[in-house]
């Protein structure tokens, strides 16, 4: 056959599924193929025939297939190479018939050998055809060139140079150093490489050492440290300026200029080192962010309520501005602008004891008190008494009853026949065995029906779900003080829905021990996005003293929402003493 193609390799990408990969060139033996898998990290693994793959199409001019037992993984490159053995097996015997087929096959093999060399040379590092290498050989032994660098000499020819260098640690005096030893100057943290073999002497820093010419600077750590210090100083300055811009709210323009100056200073310092540049830039950004935050909070003077901040963004809760039309400072609540302070004009102050009323008589009339509210009690008596109420005494026919006798009959503990001394918080109760007598006794704790605690939860988070899925409205949690306690659960939930659905009450919704409380409560709806508030209540016996959660969820026949725009769900949990 003729050899009309120079192709001697094929390459594919594995996908974890494909096991068959074609090759389009002729091989005389399956062992003439080399199959390699290259991983994404560059690791190459030569595959073994019959162990990892089989070959079809041997001897075919159009090639065949390499079939893997296990599909190469995704990201792995499959490389198929023809590597013709560098041998010649044709033996021509004198006077024998001319073996044309055998000779042609040998010529094909020679061509394949040349193509193999061409493929390998194509992957070699070469000089271009117009370049000249007068010496491309080196004679240094393997031991001598170990850990050395393959490079080019001053003539541009291949050479083996010395090692990059050996780190000897901190510099020390009276130490024999050789060329390319690397040492650290501990006084400056600079790193030097030895350029001339010598025994060290003197002291650090090496830049002023008597042998300073025998060292070359590799790492200028001292300058880097100075730059880092400058960067830290610049960052501190910028941070200080940012704080000034925040605290000096009334001087926003001046603070902004100071922050800009700080940013300029930080930028100038940035040129000293890359580290300083990074720190200064960060400080500048912090200052600008602080200024922007202040600018978003205090909007300045305006004639009417603004709808966006000075950057055109949505207003934030707590934003301030001065209304020049009404001459009043206003604050944004999250939904509306309101006055930031209340005027004390026409205000009643506690310290004045109502003396700042414009008209006491008008106030009494408005309260329905008349003049009696300001008249002393001693000014009143009955017509029959004809005297002041606090000293008058009605005439009594029986002269044996006098005012002094009435005073002597005042009710006290002795006359009530109380048998013990009083105690704060005790109540008078009938004393067993003492007719008509009383005793101070402690009020019994607890008692069925006593409210022990009340908790509540408000949920304004809007949620939605499709048909047949549950969506949460509100959740509250309570920790009962006794296992016998009852929990009263009540409240209302906001729902927007299409079609009907069910409301469900749960204990420990979505947690271990989840339990539905009561039956589904059905609701009906149309297709016009009905929005309603649904009340709910349940009397539960959790029988636990651990924290217990209660939830309200909805499941609709169509898309449904809880806590839709400007609405909310609320739940109250009341613990009742059932002892």
Rounded distance between C-alpha atoms, residue 194 and residue 177, angstroms: 7
The CA-atom distances, in angstroms, between 438 and each of 416, 429, 433 are 7, 6, 10
Helix (H) or strand (E) holding 167: strand 166-170
Rounded Cα–Cα distance for residues 306 and 122 (Å): 72
Tokens of 419: 């048998």
Written as tens digits, the pLDDT of the chain (579 aa) is 677 677 889 999 999 999 999 999 988 899 989 999 999 998 999 999 999 999 999 989 899 999 999 999 999 999 999 988 877 777 777 877 877 677 767 777 777 777 766 777 667 777 777 677 776 777 777 787 776 777 777 777 777 766 567 888 999 999 999 888 899 999 999 999 998 999 999 999 999 999 999 999 989 988 888 887 887 787 787 777 767 766 765 665 665 666 567 667 656 665 666 676 677 688 788 777 777 778 778 888 999 999 999 888 999 888 888 899 988 888 899 899 988 766 666 677 777 777 777 777 787 788 777 666 666 655 555 554 455 544 544 454 555 545 555 455 555 666 666 777 777 656 666 666 655 567 777 655 544 567 889 999 999 898 888 888 898 989 999 999 999 999 999 888 888 777 778 889 999 999 988 999 988 887 766 555 567 777 888 889 999 999 999 999 988 877 888 887 778 899 999 998 876
Q: Which residues pair with 569 in a beta bridge?
A: 459
- With contact defined as beta carbons under 8 Å apart, do 563 and 473 qualify? yes
* Fold of domain 450-577: Jelly Rolls (2.60.120)
DSSP-derived letter for residue 241 is H
pLDDT at 406: 47
Using CA atoms, how far residue 205 sits from 209, 223, 439, in Å, is 6, 14, 97
pLDDT of residue 579: 63
Spatial distance between the Cα atoms of 325 and 303, rounded to a whole number of angstroms: 5
* Separation CA 540–CA 535 (nearest Å): 17
Q: How is 35-53 classified by DSSP, letter by letter?
A: EEEE-TTS-EEE--BTTTE
Rounded-to-integer distance, Cα 521 and Cα 532, Å: 14
Q: Do domains 166-219 and 450-577 have the same CATH topology?
A: no
Domain boundaries, the chain: 9-88+98-121, 166-219, 401-443, 450-577
pLDDT for 444: 56
Residue 570 has a CB neighbour count (10 Å cut-off) of 18
* Sign of the torsion formed by the C-alpha atoms of 513, 517, 520 and 526: negative
CA dist 476 and 456 (Å) reads 6
Fold of 166-219: Seminal Fluid Protein  PDC-109 (Domain B) (2.10.10)
Q: What pLDDT is stored for residue 243 in this prediction?
A: 73
Instruction: Return the closest-CA partner of residue 476 out of 496, 490, 464.
Output: 490
Radius of gyration (C-alpha) of the chain in whole angstroms:
50
**Nearest-angstrom CA–CA distance, 317 and 404:** 71
Residue 340, C-beta contacts closer than 8 angstroms, at least 6 positions apart: 320, 328, 329, 330, 331
Q: Which residue has the tokens 């006055």?
A: 339
Q: If we measure between CA atoms, which residue out of 568, 556, 569 comes closest to residue 464?
A: 556
The pTM score is 0.30
How far apart CA 299 and CA 296 sit, in angstroms, is: 6
């Amino acid at each position: 056959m003729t050899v009309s193609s120079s192709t001697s390799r094929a390459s594919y990408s594995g996908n974890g599924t494909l096991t068959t990969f074609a090759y389009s060139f002729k091989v005389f033996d399956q062992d003439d193929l080399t199959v390699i898998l290259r991983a994404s990290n560059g690791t190459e693994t030569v595959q073994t025939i019959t162990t990892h793959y089989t070959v079809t199409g041997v001897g075919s001019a159009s090639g065949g297939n390499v079939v893997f037992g296990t599909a190469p993984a995704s990201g792995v490159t499959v490389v198929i190479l023809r590597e013709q053995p560098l041998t010649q097996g044709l033996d021509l015997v004198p006077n024998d018939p001319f073996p044309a087929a055998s000779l042609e096959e040998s010529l094909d093999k020679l061509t394949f050998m040349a193509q193999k060399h061409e493929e390998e040379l194509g992957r070699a590092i070469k000089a271009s055809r117009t370049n000249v290498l007068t010496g491309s050989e080196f004679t240094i032994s393997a031991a001598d060139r170990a850990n050395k660098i393959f490079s080019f000499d001053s003539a541009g020819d291949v050479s083996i140079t010395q090692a990059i260098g050996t780190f000897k640690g901190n510099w020390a005096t009276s130490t024999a150093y050789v060329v390319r030893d690397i040492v650290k100057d501990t006084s400056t943290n600079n790193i030097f490489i030895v350029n001339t073999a010598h025994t060290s002497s003197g002291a650090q820093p090496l830049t002023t050492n008597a042998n300073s010419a025998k060292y070359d600077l590799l790492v200028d750590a001292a300058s880097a440290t100075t730059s880092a210090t400058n960067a830290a100083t610049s960052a501190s300055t910028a941070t200080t300026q940012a704080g000034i811009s925040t605290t000096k709210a009334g001087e926003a323009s001046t603070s902004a200029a100071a922050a800009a100056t700080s940013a300029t200073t930080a930028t100038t310092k940035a040129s000293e080192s890359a580290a300083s540049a990074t720190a200064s830039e960060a400080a500048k950004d912090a200052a600008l962010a602080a200024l922007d935050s202040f600018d978003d909070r205090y909007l300045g003077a305006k004639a009417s309520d603004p709808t966006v901040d000075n950057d055109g963004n949505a207003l934030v809760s707590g934003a301030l501005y001065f209304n020049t039309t009404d001459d009043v400072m206003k604050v944004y609540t999250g939904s509306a602008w309101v006055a930031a302070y209340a005027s004390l004009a026409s205000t009643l102050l506690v310290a004045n004891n109502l003396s700042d009323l414009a008209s006491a008589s008008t106030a009494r009339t408005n309260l329905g008190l008349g003049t009696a509210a300001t008249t002393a009690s001693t000014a009143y008596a009955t017509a029959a008494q004809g005297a002041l109420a606090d000293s008058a005494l009605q005439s009594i026919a029986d002269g044996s009853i006098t005012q002094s006798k009435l005073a002597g009959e005042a009710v006290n503990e002795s006359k009530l026949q109380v048998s013990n001394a009083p105690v704060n918080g005790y109540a008078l109760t009938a004393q067993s065995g003492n007719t008509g007598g009383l005793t101070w006794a402690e009020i019994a704790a607890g008692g069925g029906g006593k409210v022990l605690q009340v908790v509540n939860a408000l949920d304004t988070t809007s949620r939605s779900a499709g048909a047949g899925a549950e969506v949460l409205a509100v959740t509250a949690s309570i920790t009962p003080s006794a296992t016998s306690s009852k929990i009263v659960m009540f409240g209302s939930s906001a729902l927007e829905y299409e079609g009907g659905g069910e409301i469900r009450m749960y204990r420990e919704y979505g947690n271990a021990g989840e339990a539905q409380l009561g039956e589904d409560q059905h609701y009906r709806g149309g297709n016009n996005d009905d929005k309603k508030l649904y009340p709910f209540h349940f009397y539960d016996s959790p029988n636990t003293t651990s924290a217990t959660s209660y939830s309200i969820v909805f499941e609709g026949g169509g898309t449904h929402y809880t806590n839709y725009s400007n609405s909310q769900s609320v739940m109250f949990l009341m613990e009742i003493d059932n002892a």
